[in-house]
Structure 1
Amino acid sequence: MTNRPRRAPRRTGLACVLALCLATALTACGSSDDGGDDGGGPADVTAALEKGGTIKVWAWEPTLKQVAKDFEDEHPKVKVKLVNAGTNKDEYTALQNAISAGSGVPDVAQIEYYALGQFTLTESLTDLAGFGADKLGDTYSPGPWNAVSSSDGIHALPMDSGPMALFYNKDVFDKHHIAVPRTWDEYVAAARKLHKADPEVYITSDTGDPGLTTSLIWQAGGRPYTVDGTEVSIDFSDQGSATYTRTWQKLIDDKLLAPTVGWSDEWYKGLSDGKIATLPIGAWMPANLMSGAPKGKGSWRVAPLPQWKPGKPVSAENGGSALAVPTKSGNKALAYAFVQYANAGKGVKTRVHDGAFPATKATLESKEFLNRRYPYFGGQKANVIFSKAAADVPDDWSYLPFQVYANSVFNDAVGTAYTSGTPLDKGLADWRKASVKYGKEQGFTIE
Structure 2
Amino acid sequence: MRNRTARRLLGTLAAVSALALTATACGSDASDAGAGKSGPEDVAAALEKGGKVTVWAWEPTLKKVVEDFEKKYPKVDVELVNAGTGDKQYTALQNAIAAGSGAPDVAQVEYYALGQFTIGKSVENLAPYGATRHGTSFTPGPWTAVHQGDDIYALPMDSGPMAFFYNKKVFDKHGVKVPTTWDEYVEAARTLHKADPKVFITNDTGDAGATTSLIWQAGGRPYKTQGTDVTIDFGDKGSKTYTATWQKLLDEKLVAPISSWSDGWYKGLADGSIATLSIGAWMPANLTSGVASAAGDWRVAPLPQWTKGDKASAENGGSSLAVPKAAKNKELAYAFTEFATTGAGASARVAAGAFPATRADLESKAFLDTEFPYFGGQKANQVFAESARNVGDDWKYLPYQVYANSVFNDTVGKAYVSPTKLSDGLKAWQDVSVKYGKDQGFAVND
| Letter aligned with residue 372 of structure 1 | T
CA distance in 2, matches of 1:424, 1:390: 28
CA 1:374–1:87: 2 relative to 1, 3 Å: same
- Cα displacement string for residues 89-144 of structure 1 (whole angstroms, at most 9, x for unaligned residues): 00001101100111001000000000000000011110110111111111000000
Residue of structure 2 equivalent to 1:218: 216
State the shift of 1:17 in Å: 1.9
- Cα displacement string for residues 4-63 of structure 1 (whole angstroms, at most 9, x for unaligned residues): 4373233221222211331354558999999x9975211111101100000000000000
Where 2:420 maps in the other structure, the secondary structure is: coil
Where 2:193 maps in the other structure, the secondary structure is: helix
| Letter aligned with residue 63 of structure 2 | K
Aligned 1:199-278 pairs, distance under 5 A? 199-278=197-276
CA 1:29–1:111: 2 relative to 1, 3 Å: farther
- Cα displacement string for residues 167-226 of structure 1 (whole angstroms, at most 9, x for unaligned residues): 000000000000000000000000000000000000000000000100000000000000
Aligned 1:11-410 pairs, distance under 5 A? 11-25=10-24, 39-151=37-149, 153-410=151-408
Residue of structure 2 equivalent to 1:442: 440
Where 2:200 maps in the other structure, the secondary structure is: coil
CA 1:425–1:33: 2 relative to 1, 3 Å: closer
- Alpha-carbon contact 1:29-1:124 (below 8 Å) kept: no
| Letter aligned with residue 17 of structure 2 | L
CA 1:347–1:39: 2 relative to 1, 3 Å: farther
| Letter aligned with residue 402 of structure 1 | Y
| Letter aligned with residue 8 of structure 1 | R
Where 1:385 maps in the other structure, the secondary structure is: helix
CA 1:61–1:30: 2 relative to 1, 3 Å: farther
CA distance in 1, matches of 2:6, 2:103: 22
CA distance in 2, matches of 1:255, 1:111: 36
| Letter aligned with residue 5 of structure 1 | R
Q: CA RMSD in A?
A: 1.8
CA distance in 1, matches of 2:252, 2:66: 50
Where 1:106 maps in the other structure, the secondary structure is: coil
CA distance in 2, matches of 1:28, 1:92: 25
- Alpha-carbon contact 1:26-1:123 (below 8 Å) kept: no
CA distance in 1, matches of 2:427, 2:251: 19
CA distance in 2, matches of 1:278, 1:38: 52
CA distance in 2, matches of 1:10, 1:74: 39
CA distance in 2, matches of 1:33, 1:358: 30
CA distance in 1, matches of 2:386, 2:135: 19
Residue correspondences, number: 445
Where 1:188 maps in the other structure, the secondary structure is: helix
CA distance in 2, matches of 1:438, 1:14: 11
Where 1:168 maps in the other structure, the secondary structure is: strand
**What TM-score does the superposition give when structure 2 sets the normalisation length?**
0.97
CA distance in 1, matches of 2:386, 2:50: 40
CA distance in 2, matches of 1:10, 1:361: 34
- Alpha-carbon contact 2:105-2:333 (below 8 Å) kept: yes
| Letter aligned with residue 311 of structure 1 | G
- Alpha-carbon contact 2:32-2:125 (below 8 Å) kept: no
- Alpha-carbon contact 1:9-1:93 (below 8 Å) kept: no
- Alpha-carbon contact 2:159-2:319 (below 8 Å) kept: yes
Residue of structure 2 equivalent to 1:8: 7
Unaligned runs of 5+ in 2: none
- Alpha-carbon contact 2:247-2:422 (below 8 Å) kept: yes
Where 2:178 maps in the other structure, the secondary structure is: coil
CA distance in 2, matches of 1:10, 1:383: 35
CA distance in 2, matches of 1:369, 1:323: 23
CA distance in 2, matches of 1:359, 1:404: 22
CA distance in 2, matches of 1:356, 1:242: 34
Where 1:226 maps in the other structure, the secondary structure is: strand
Where 1:329 maps in the other structure, the secondary structure is: coil
CA 1:272–1:20: 2 relative to 1, 3 Å: same
Where 1:139 maps in the other structure, the secondary structure is: coil
| Letter aligned with residue 11 of structure 2 | T
- Alpha-carbon contact 1:54-1:80 (below 8 Å) kept: yes
CA distance in 1, matches of 2:326, 2:401: 23
- Alpha-carbon contact 1:56-1:107 (below 8 Å) kept: yes
CA distance in 2, matches of 1:27, 1:174: 63
| Letter aligned with residue 305 of structure 1 | L
Relative to structure 2, which stretch is displaced further, 39-48 or 283-292?
39-48
CA distance in 1, matches of 2:111, 2:57: 14
CA distance in 1, matches of 2:375, 2:290: 14
- Alpha-carbon contact 2:19-2:120 (below 8 Å) kept: no
CA 1:396–1:25: 2 relative to 1, 3 Å: closer
Where 2:216 maps in the other structure, the secondary structure is: helix
CA 1:26–1:349: 2 relative to 1, 3 Å: farther
- Cα displacement string for residues 329-365 of structure 1 (whole angstroms, at most 9, x for unaligned residues): 1111100110111101211111011110000001101
CA 1:6–1:116: 2 relative to 1, 3 Å: farther
- Cα displacement string for residues 301-328 of structure 1 (whole angstroms, at most 9, x for unaligned residues): 0000000001230000000010000111
- Alpha-carbon contact 1:41-1:130 (below 8 Å) kept: yes
1:423 aligns with 2:416: no
- Alpha-carbon contact 2:23-2:120 (below 8 Å) kept: no
Unaligned runs of 5+ in 1: none
**What TM-score does the superposition give when structure 1 sets the normalisation length?**
0.97
